[in-house]
């Protein structure tokens, strides 16, 4: 079986894929900056393509007639024409949940940065002002606040799990509710979106970007 891999132009990433491949696999690795003609030539007879960099198009796949699977190492798929890929008889798979921990940790960093005025402090320090103006701006404790999570997939659940240490009132909305048992584990309760927005002190969004979610939050 031949597998084509489009990856970032770093030796470490290329070496990682080669080390994890099964011996019976024929691997062809191409760096994303390479011209599309070069990528097509490398993958013309590949049966699967692993995408570790953006940029695989339907037109590209039309020139790779043996491909049956396009596997993305990313969690999202908002930049992928899934219908166009499926119409070619190619399955698409993403890596949902693979980045849940780092994204959840980053989310908590942003929330803490806002509540404690960290970003204002950093900017002041860079400008050489240090304490100037910090006392004029309010800061808050996250403990006891209501945090709303829009999207309770792998990332949203990780965020909810981390919020338990802050004794927050965690509310969430999702197209399909998680189980009552899981809600209890996460100390989270379900609310419709409009109600969540009314009660939450902080809102964090963890949904896929698609036609149903685009523009979900706006000034109105």
pLDDT number for residue 164: 95
Residues contacting 165, CB < 8 A, separation 6+: none
* Full-model pTM: 0.75
pLDDT number for residue 23: 81
- Terminal C-alpha separation, the chain: 53
Long-range contact pairs involving 110-117 (C-beta distance under 8 Å, separation at least 24): 111/142, 111/147, 111/202, 111/204, 112/142, 114/202, 115/139, 115/140, 115/141, 115/142, 115/145, 115/202, 116/140
Place of tokens 């693979």: 98
Place of tokens 């132009």: 9
pLDDT number for residue 194: 93
In CATH terms, are 2-93 and 100-205 the same topology?
yes
Phi and psi, residue 101, nearest 5°: -65, -55
How far is Cα 195 from Cα 190, in angstroms, rounded to an integer?
A: 10
How far is Cα 123 from Cα 133, in angstroms, rounded to an integer?
A: 11
> Which of the given ranges, 10-24, 126-140, 177-191, has the highest pLDDT on average?
177-191
How far is Cα 135 from Cα 198, in angstroms, rounded to an integer?
A: 28
* Contact between residue 89 and residue 69 where contact means Cβ atoms under 8 Å apart: no
Determine the average pLDDT of the residues in 189-210.
Answer: 93
How far is Cα 70 from Cα 62, in angstroms, rounded to an integer?
A: 12
CATH number of 2-93, picked from 3.40.50.150, 3.40.50.720, 1.10.3720.10, 3.30.70.100: 3.40.50.720
pLDDT number for residue 105: 97
Tens digits of residue pLDDT in 46-88:
888 888 766 678 888 898 889 999 888 887 777 788 889 999 9
Q: Give residue limits of the domains in the chain.
A: 2-93, 100-205
- pLDDT band, residue 16 (cuts 50/70/90): confident
CATH number of 100-205: 3.40.50.720
Chain mean pLDDT for the chain: 86
Percent of the chain with pLDDT over 90: 42
């Amino acid at each position: 079986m031949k597998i084509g891999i489009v990856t970032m132009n770093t030796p470490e990433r290329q070496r990682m894929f080669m080390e994890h491949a099964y011996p019976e696999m024929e691997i062809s690795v191409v760096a994303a900056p390479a011209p599309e003609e070069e990528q097509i030539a490398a993958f013309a007879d590949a049966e699967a393509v692993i995408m570790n960099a953006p940029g695989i198009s339907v037109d590209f796949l039309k020139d790779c007639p043996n491909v049956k699977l396009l596997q993305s190492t990313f969690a999202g798929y908002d930049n992928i024409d899934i219908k166009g890929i499926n119409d070619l008889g190619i399955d698409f798979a993403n890596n949902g949940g693979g980045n849940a921990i780092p994204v959840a940790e980053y989310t908590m960093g942003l929330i803490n940065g806002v509540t404690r005025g960290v970003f204002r402090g950093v900017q002041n320090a860079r400008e050489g002002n240090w304490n100037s103006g910090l006392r004029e701006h309010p800061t808050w404790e996250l403990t006891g606040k209501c945090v709303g999570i829009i999207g309770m997939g792998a990332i949203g659940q990780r965020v909810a799990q981390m919020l338990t240490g802050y004794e927050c009132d965690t509310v969430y909305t999702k197209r399909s509710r998680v189980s009552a048992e899981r809600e209890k584990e996460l100390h989270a309760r379900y609310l419709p979106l409009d109600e969540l927005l009314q009660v939450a002190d902080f809102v964090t969004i963890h949904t896929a970007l698609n036609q149903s979610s685009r523009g979900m939050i706006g000034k109105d």
